[in-house]
Structure 1
Amino acid sequence: MENQSCVKILNEWDIVSARQLGRNVAKELGFGTVDQARITTAISELARNIFLYAGQGQICIEKMYKNGKVGLRIISLDKGPGINDLRQVMEDGYSTSGGLGAGLPGVKRLMDEFMIDSNPGDGTDIQATKWLR
């Protein structure tokens, strides 16, 4: 699909590559600097989660066109251990890494749409969309 580009997340440098890809696509679609920062922050968080918890996965950036609207979707996919308690990880301040816990609730706040699907032992699929205002 030409509307989608992906970066495999295997090490910390890949997190930087994923951020760069997201920023470039956001710029190309016409997002302002504030939304570009929101998008790259969300990508950072999702890519870091893949790196820390799943070991490997991928971040895909997809250009969205729906009902005359333009948007950008971040797709985070991994085949890691999955998330046992989705409700818990979506609580503000919850962190297993000792980080700030901005985590997934932070990503949800930064973006306009957020969907998470995770099954223990089966990996995690997260999709977060930002629409151009």
Structure 2
Amino acid sequence: MKPQSGVIIRKEWDIVGARQVAREMARELKFGVVDQARIATAVSELARNIYLYANEGQILFNAIQSVNKTGLCVKAVDTGPGINDISEVMQDGYSTSGGLGAGLPGVKRLMDEFDIKTEIGIGTTITATKWVR
């Protein structure tokens, strides 16, 4: 397994590619089937956000090791318009695309660690980590 890989998100089909890479890396890192699905779902949501709101970006995957645990760090990076109000997009049910609004709050729930950095006119970076149980 490559310690880091990434998928560029430009078209809708790239969302599927990012999801497949996420699931494969999670399997190689010995995540259980349920956590593999959680990771793939979170990555799908992050990639979809890039596609819908930023037009282009990438999802980076990095296998990480702590003292006594292994994990997968997923970073969604874009050069889109940025997020005006982080607290608003982190509310359950919030959606600007007419979707279910599970979005970023859903990603935060599915993963163990979640961080968002955004700058208007510069872009957004979301980092989410899941640890093998």
Q: TM-score, normalised by structure 1?
A: 0.98
User: Which one-letter code corresponds to 1:118 in the other structure?
Assistant: T
Show the counterpart of 1:47. 47
Consecutive aligned runs of 4 or more in structure 1 exceeding 6 Å deviation: none
Aligned mates of 2:12, 2:123 — CA distance in 1:
20
User: Which one-letter code corresponds to 1:42 in the other structure?
Assistant: A
Show the counterpart of 1:8. 8
SS at 1:53's partner residue? Answer: helix
Show the counterpart of 1:64. 64
Q: Which runs of 5+ in 1 are unaligned?
A: none
User: Which one-letter code corresponds to 2:43 in the other structure?
Assistant: I
Which deviations, in whole Å up to 9, do the C-alpha atoms of 1:57-102 show, x marking residues without a partner?
0001110101121000110000000000001000111001010000
User: Which one-letter code corresponds to 1:50 in the other structure?
Assistant: I
TM-align CA RMSD: 0.6
Q: Which runs of 5+ in 2 are unaligned?
A: none
Q: Percent identity?
A: 64
Aligned mates of 2:62, 2:47 — CA distance in 1:
15
The size of the alignment, in residue pairs, is 132
Is residue 122 of structure 1 aligned with residue 122 of structure 2?
yes
SS at 2:40's partner residue? Answer: helix
Q: TM-score, normalised by structure 2?
A: 0.98
Show the counterpart of 1:110. 110
